[in-house]
Amino acid sequence: MQHTIDHFFESATARTLLIAFLLSSFVIPSVGSRAQKKLHRDKNLAASTNVDPALSPDSVPDLYTVAALGSAVLDSATPFPVPIAFLDLKDSLRYWLAVRFPHLGVLGIREDTVLKPSFIATNGLRAYRADNPIMQLKFPSMGYAFWIDVYDRTSRKLITSRLMPYSMDMERYTLASYRYVHQPTSGLGSELLRRTFVPKLLPVTFETHPGWLGIEEVDSRGIYSLRFQDPKDSTKTFLSLTINPVAFRRLDSSLWEEFKDHARVAFGMKGIAVNSLGDFEVLESAAHQVIERGYEFLSKQSDEGLDYVATYITPHAIILLMAPMDRSVPADKFEFYRAIARSFRLKADLVPKNQAKIGG
């Protein structure tokens, strides 16, 4: 038995939104544009954007001026905003700038460090632009903040670091969306075949069947979906991954227990039975900085089928993985989906490395 794409997408999206609503007491409220003007004095922002507190002493003179702050469209295929800053460095022979743009990508965990100007404007201003887009948007405007670091060219030491908040106009991105089709690389012959799958937008990889057709989508709400279907029958879905952006105040044991309770509630609607399978960890330790642990269960469908469900929370999102199964599914097929749920790996460029090389 297979379930339709509509069943999976609508069910997964609705349930991630419901779980987020039920966890509202743990969620960070959105920041208004007026309050955003004061966020450079708020140490809590440093924690919420996953960057270190500012190092700037009051005695450091102005080494640069901020000429303009805004956003630019990444490209025509991915029409989401990338933050951009135009800066005027007073003494480029003695100092150089590095700009850190946090909270990027679908999960909001990417941070781009721009070590040299992306381009020099005609008026001589240095433009620093992130390489990855912001994909967790708020309309009609959104508070954002990035870091400007000043280094001494001779000593190579950090002189000062300043958090720079501003309000970003989002009107031009209200219809932003992205869609990419991943073609199968093999046939469907062996049902239990697994190979590493590399999404375009996610910071992680995981295993799937190489014979599945993958469709990756995200819209301006930040709702991300990745569904795998039969390449010859678009009504048959094998696996669905849905991500709903939610920024949590903290990730601790109390949140985790409430999250599991609310996940069971979301899938236990209308009297549908839920059979808990328990907690688990993804196998790669580096991926724990994004997905420390998951929770899996079986949800009975009204048509006598089953959904295998694995749920995860990250600092900025809820992740929901669903796979349809027959009530009489063989044990090896059941373990096939459980192995997929544990196979998440952090992409190589996000694995912690030694301090990056810095330059002008």
What does 267-334 look like in DSSP terms, one character per residue?
A: HSGGG--EEEEEEE--S-GGGGGT---EEEEEEE-TTS-EEEEEEEEETTEEEEEEEEE-TT--HHHH
Q: Are residues 304 and 203 in the same domain?
A: yes
Q: Are residues 141 and 197 in the same domain?
A: no
Is the residue at 358 inside a domain? no
Give the angle 8-175-101 at the CA atoms, nearest 5°.
95
Domain that holds residue 275: 5-26+176-349
Helix ranges, the chain (H): 5-22, 33-36, 43-48, 253-267, 331-341
Asked if 308 and 337 touch (Cβ cutoff 8 Å), the reply is yes
Q: Are residues 98 and 189 in the same domain?
A: no
Q: Are residues 185 and 334 in the same domain?
A: yes
Is the residue at 169 inside a domain? yes
Q: How many angstroms separate the CA atoms of 290 and 350, rounded?
A: 10
Q: Are residues 213 and 334 in the same domain?
A: yes
Q: What are phi and psi of 242, to 5 degrees?
A: -125, 140
pTM of structure = 0.80
Is the residue at 338 inside a domain? yes
Q: Are residues 139 and 223 in the same domain?
A: no
**Neighbour count for residue 280 (Cβ, 10 Å):** 15
Is the residue at 137 inside a domain? yes
Asked if 316 and 247 touch (Cβ cutoff 8 Å), the reply is yes
Q: Are residues 162 and 221 in the same domain?
A: no
Q: What is the CATH number of the domain that holds 229?
A: 3.40.1000.10
Q: How many domains are there within the chain?
A: 2
> Is the backbone peptide bond immediately before 83 cis, with ω within 30 degrees of 0?
no
Q: Are residues 201 and 335 in the same domain?
A: yes
Q: Are residues 15 and 37 in the same domain?
A: no
Is the residue at 354 inside a domain? no
Q: What are phi and psi of 134, to 5 degrees?
A: -80, 125
Of 360, 320, 303, 339, the residue nearest 92 (C-alpha)? 360
Q: Which of 173, 198, 224 is where one domain is finished?
A: 173
Q: Which of 173, 188, 220 is where one domain is finished?
A: 173
Tokens of 289: 């900085």
Q: β-strand 177-182 against 213-219: which pairing, if any?
A: antiparallel
Q: Which of 139, 173, 207 is where one domain is finished?
A: 173
pLDDT tens digits in sequence order for the chain, 360 residues long: 444 444 444 556 676 666 666 566 566 654 333 333 333 333 343 333 333 333 334 444 588 999 999 999 988 888 999 999 999 999 999 999 999 999 999 988 899 999 999 999 888 899 999 999 999 898 999 999 999 999 999 999 999 999 999 999 999 999 999 999 999 999 998 999 999 999 999 999 999 999 999 999 999 988 999 999 999 999 999 999 999 888 777 778 888 888 888 888 887 754 456 788 999 999 888 888 788 789 999 888 766 788 899 999 888 888 999 998 887 888 899 999 999 999 999 887 776 554 334 444
